[in-house]
């Protein structure tokens, strides 16, 4: 049985969504952020040494990191769903998008979050952080021009991965200049599997 060690208001919500898209059976073990620090509880370290979410277990196998979890689930259980055929240019484009979310896009959003707690001390960093967020959202917006999803008309697991980027920008009120990303977020959130995952996952309020 697949177990999702699920932290409220976190990236693990997209793993629940992926499981719903694949129509797989799974169970959820819930963890709550510390109300003051917003950090994951220490109990997660008993599951994986990093003590972070998402992390899943499948029998005795434990794996962390969103992209790795997504690849494991799609390759192990997907039966060709949500991924282009292997060793094609489309597949490598899919991999590029799969790693874009955490490898590039999320860093300036995290820096914006952390530096917001520093007050005036963070002022020298703000222009660079803002320019990087603009760079990545513009890139994403341009890539979505005329398309419902990153690789065309079919949802892939790369869209599941990048949903968090679109949603964190949405939560910060940054999508006014990025209509394609705004439309993309709404398209993803309207999917029945996404809605089922929300019902099962519980509290999901980014920036909370």
On whether the CB atoms of residues 16 and 4 are closer than 8 A, the answer is yes
- Same-domain pairing of 119 and 48: no
- Same-domain pairing of 166 and 180: yes
What is the predicted pLDDT for the residue at 40? 92
Q: Let me know if residue 18 belongs to a domain.
A: yes
What is the predicted pLDDT for the residue at 114? 81
C-alpha distances (whole Å) from 20 to each of 10, 11, 72, 150, 160 are 17, 15, 15, 20, 11
- Same-domain pairing of 33 and 68: yes
- Same-domain pairing of 127 and 69: no
Q: Let me know if residue 207 belongs to a domain.
A: no
- Same-domain pairing of 76 and 168: no
Domain of residue 45, CATH code: 3.40.30.10
- Same-domain pairing of 184 and 131: yes
Which helix (DSSP H) or strand (DSSP E) does residue 172 occupy?
none
| Cβ-based burial of 95 (10 A; exposed 0-12, middle 13-18, buried ≥19) | middle
- Same-domain pairing of 94 and 38: no
- Same-domain pairing of 101 and 28: no
Q: Judge whether residue 207 has pLDDT over 70.
A: no
Average pLDDT over residues 82-100: 97
- Same-domain pairing of 55 and 126: no
Average pLDDT over residues 52-73: 97
**Residue numbers of the domain that contains 8:** 2-82+193-201
Q: How far apart are CA 136 and CA 129, in angstroms?
A: 11
What is the predicted pLDDT for the residue at 117? 77
On whether the CB atoms of residues 62 and 56 are closer than 8 A, the answer is yes
- Same-domain pairing of 26 and 96: no
Category of 119 on φ-ψ map: left (φ > 0), alpha (ψ -120 to 50) or beta: left
Write b or e for each residue in 33-46: b if 16 or more Cβ atoms lie within 10 A of its Cβ, otherwise e.
beeeeeebeeebee
Residue with tokens 């980027």: 165
- Same-domain pairing of 178 and 197: no
Domain of residue 111, CATH code: 1.20.1050.10
Weakest mean pLDDT among 37-46, 100-109, 141-150, 168-177:
37-46
Q: Let me know if residue 75 belongs to a domain.
A: yes
- Give every CB contact of residue 42 below 8 A, 6+ residues apart in sequence: 51
In the chain, the number of structural domains is 2
What percent of the chain is predicted at pLDDT more than 70?
Answer: 99
Residue with tokens 């398209």: 187
- Same-domain pairing of 183 and 116: yes
Q: Judge whether residue 90 has pLDDT over 70.
A: yes
What percent of the chain is predicted at pLDDT more than 90?
Answer: 85
């Amino acid at each position: 049985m697949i177990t999702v060690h699920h932290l409220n208001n976190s990236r693990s919500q997209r793993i629940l969504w992926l499981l719903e898209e694949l129509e797989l059976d799974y169970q959820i073990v819930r963890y709550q952020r510390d109300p003051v620090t917003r950090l994951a509880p220490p109990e997660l370290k008993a599951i994986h040494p990093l003590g972070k979410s998402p992390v899943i277990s499948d029998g005795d196998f434990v794996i962390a990191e969103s992209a790795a979890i997504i690849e494991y689930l799609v390759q192990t259980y997907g039966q060709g769903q949500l991924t282009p055929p292997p060793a094609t240019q489309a597949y490598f484009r899919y991999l590029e998008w799969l790693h874009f979310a955490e490898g590039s896009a999320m860093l300036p959003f995290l820096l914006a979050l952390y530096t917001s707690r520093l007050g005036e001390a963070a002022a020298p960093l703000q222009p660079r952080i803002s320019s990087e967020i603009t760079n990545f959202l513009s890139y994403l917006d341009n890539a979505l021009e005329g398309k419902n999803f990153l690789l065309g008309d079919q949802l892939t697991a790369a869209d599941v991965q990048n949903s968090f980027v679109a949603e964190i920008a949405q939560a910060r009120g940054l999508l006014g200049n990025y209509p394609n990303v705004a439309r993309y977020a709404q398209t993803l959130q309207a999917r029945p599997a996404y809605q089922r995952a929300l019902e099962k996952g519980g509290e999901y309020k980014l920036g909370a």
